[in-house]
Structure 1
């Protein structure tokens, strides 16, 4: 019997041990090669894009000959103003990539021997870089659509006679949100957060190309899709799949997101639900790839500008 790809040696193209054995110079060289891969690994000015730069011998920085701008390998990226060594950043990305169902900030902080706050912000910076790659994606072909609700639950009463039906709106906190996912069969996964499933219809129309076949369940929220798309529905109370009509790939995504919430994070704040949803979409899209996708994530992070959300997050009085 053939071995599953993820169990084979070909799936292990990234070694955390190898990263931790790197010297500072080797880690820096790896970052340089990733950031300026389109220039053969040679640094160029991030401000004016001039390729003529001076290299400083005493410090790992460059100076542009055209505009005199001094920059480092992390200048103008999501890692700007870093305090962690570059080797630790590489190790953090490797640990993040290898976590199949997400990674808690507490665990990342323990692995890197840094404060919880440092690990929390670092993980969210990586999620922001992932989300930037999903911002303008369009889906086509065969797309599955489904929604799942998160948050808004209240603690049950001790005695059975005092307990309430938490499925009813009057017995919820009002913070309940729905993650609606659009998943292209054999392609990309795009999640969005709304107050109700019906609110997702305009976004689906914007992100799914005309002529696409959409697969959805029997929820009334998706009735409006028939006006624009060929829509095939599946009644889950009767069957999970019927003549090709199913939402199994969308359910697979929600399975990973639920397990990340229950097993790793235990609680996901509604404010950042979209960031976690985007992370799980990226994990689903790369689930069949070797763990060398570290380079893909590192490139996304180094290609992303300075975060306006997470730069100085704790200095703004967050608690």
Structure 2
């Protein structure tokens, strides 16, 4: 695909209602001039100059449009995600460019379920990530890393709410019991909640019909299980170990949201996923976190 073909595809997806004809993102005017010397447009109504990525999450980009499309195609194709280092090699760009680009795509994925509410049957579970404490060489010098005084304080827990046959919502906390208020905000009343025997879920009994499973005795008992939540954690853990090797607590929520998106769309063809991500990215607002990230 050439750069011109990539731009035509971008235009067709972003301005699908006008068959690829540009629309001013500032005033919505259809009367737009296209410069011949530069790949930008100018609105006849307000005089605003814009490009095919202006006002989107790819605003102020420097990468060619062709590379952005290739990055999205490669990214959605990975079952366990893709590291920025691998993407930088595939695109032949700097690591920093690939790093920011992939986080923008993750931001688009997370926005899909930002206001979602789960109902019916929902599984709730938590898993801890990060905060690794390297053991001492000699056995007599080693400390019990389970004790709080011997931890780094960087460890975070990802709490996932997964609707059976529906969506997956992950959130990051310092401990499981801090997630109860968030669970109540995103899980509708009248929902049947399945959880394990961790004490952090005891408060859920006051709001939901809660069924618990003691994993020390069984993985499933009369329909009570958290197998789908565990399936999500398996994907997230493999992404951490096999792709990224380390995920900082600062960005753990982005990787957790990415894996939730992959779990929810695991049966969807790659071509459909590619078009959906491009469409969502071109309709997403400018990223406040990642635009000009390296320039602070």
Q: TM-score range by the shorter chain?
A: over 0.9
Query: How many Å separate the matches in 2 of 1:245 and 1:61?
Result: 57
Show the counterpart of 1:170: 149
Task: Give the Cα separation in 2 of the matches to 1:312 and 1:123.
Answer: 14
* Residues in 1 aligned to 2:226 and 2:17: alpha-carbon distance in whole angstroms: 39
Matched, 1:211 2:190: yes
- 1:54 aligned onto 2:33: yes
For residues 40 and 231 of structure 1, what CA distance do their matches in structure 2 show?
Answer: 50
2:164 to 162, 166, 185: 185
1:71-150 map, 5 Å: 71-150=50-129
TM-superposition CA deviations, 1:240-268 (whole Å, max 9, x none): 11111111110000000000110111110
Q: CA, structure 1 residues 39+237, in 2 after alignment: closer, same or farther (shift >3 Å)?
A: farther
Structure-1 residue corresponding to 2:281: 301
Specify the alignment match of 1:252 in structure 2: 231
1:88 and 1:165 mapped to 2: Cα distance? 48
CA deviation digits over 1:127-167, x for unaligned, max 9? 11112222111111111100001112211000112222212
Moved more, 306-315 or 95-104: 306-315
Shift in Å, 1:61: 2.3
Q: State the match for 2:176 in structure 1.
A: 197
Q: Secondary structure at the match of 2:247?
A: coil
Please state how far the C-alpha of 1:182 moved relative to its aligned partner: 0.5
Give the CA deviation at 1:115: 0.7
Matched, 1:227 2:206: yes
Looking at structure 2, the residues matched to 222 and 38 of structure 1 have their Cα atoms a distance apart, in angstroms, of 47
Is this contact kept in 2: 1:153–1:166, CA < 8 A? no
Matching of residue 288 in structure 1 with residue 267 in structure 2: yes
Residues 193-249 of structure 1, C-alpha deviations (whole Å, 9 max, x = no match): 001101100001000111111111111111111111111111111111111111111
- Over the residues paired in the alignment, what is the CA RMSD in angstroms? 1.2
In 2, Cα distance between the equivalents of 1:50 and 1:197?
50
For residues 249 and 39 of structure 1, what CA distance do their matches in structure 2 show? 42
User: Do residues 315 (structure 1) and 295 (structure 2) align?
Assistant: yes
SS in 2 for 1:114: coil
Instruction: Kindly provide the CA deviation profile for residues 48-101 of structure 1, in whole angstroms up to 9, marking residues without a partner as x.
Output: 122232233333322223212121110011111111111110000011111110
TM-score normalised by the chain length of structure 1: 0.90
SS of the aligned residue for 1:271 comes to coil
Match of 2:245 in 1: 266
- Match of 1:299, SS state, is helix
**Distance in 2 (alpha carbons) for counterparts of 1:43 and 1:97:** 27
Q: Structure 1 residue 33: deviation in Å?
A: 1.4
Question: Per-residue deviation at 1:41?
Answer: 3.2
Q: Tell me, what secondary structure is at the counterpart of 2:123?
A: strand
Distance in structure 1 (CA, Å) of the matches to 2:169 and 2:18: 31
- Identify unmatched segments of 5+ residues in structure 2: none
Task: Name the stretch that deviates more: 202-211 or 124-133.
Answer: 124-133
Tell me which moved more, 71-80 or 104-113: 71-80
Alignment partners' CA distance in 2, 1:136 and 1:106: 32
Determine if contact 1:216/1:234 at 8 Å carries over to the other structure: yes
- How many residues in Structure 1 have an aligned counterpart in Structure 2? 295
Against the structure 1 CA distance between its residues 38 and 225, is the aligned structure 2 distance closer, same or farther, given a 3 Å change threshold?
farther
